[in-house]
Amino acid sequence: MKAEQIALVRLSFDKLWPVSREFADLFYRRLFELLPEARPLFKADLEKQKTKLVSMIATIVGSVDQPVMFASIVEHLGKRHALFGVLPPYYGPVGDSLMWSLQQTLGTEFTSSTRDAWAALYDSVHRAMLRGAGSALGKDK
């Protein structure tokens, strides 16, 4: 990612933080609309999961400019998700849910440049998680 994109992601995440609960609610509602088969992967009560989601996004955003740390964090996340039953085709709807939730939460502050920055970040996360998943499942990704 370019430095300008990292700055945009961080600035928008700072704006998202105070309304992170609403963001997480929107994210999971949208995810289960787009990917109902993912619902059984989660416990009935999503409150802890929503907190984990926002915390992990914060960790990713905080490490995006540190390639070794970023790769380690996100590949480990991919390993864990693979072991929970997350399949590679799920990543598309997750990315769509993320972008939609950001748009809904940030409104007009989710500019096209900010959208492009988040899309670049998600692309990096997606690729690293698939590498981690492949490692967990004994496959090269």
pLDDT in tens, 64-81: 999 999 999 999 999 999
Give domain status of residue 141, yes or no: no
Provide the residue range defining the domain that includes 29: 3-136
The CATH number of residue 14's host domain is 1.10.490.10
Total structural domains within the chain: 1
Q: What is the pLDDT of residues 82-128, one digit of tens each?
A: 988 898 999 999 999 999 999 999 999 999 999 999 999 999 999 99
CA–CA dist 67, 60 (Å, integer): 11
Sign of the torsion angle spanned by Cα atoms 96, 97, 103, 104: positive
Helix ranges (DSSP H) in 38-111: 47-63, 67-84, 91-106
Q: Whole-model pTM? A: 0.91
Give domain status of residue 112, yes or no: yes
Give domain status of residue 25, yes or no: yes
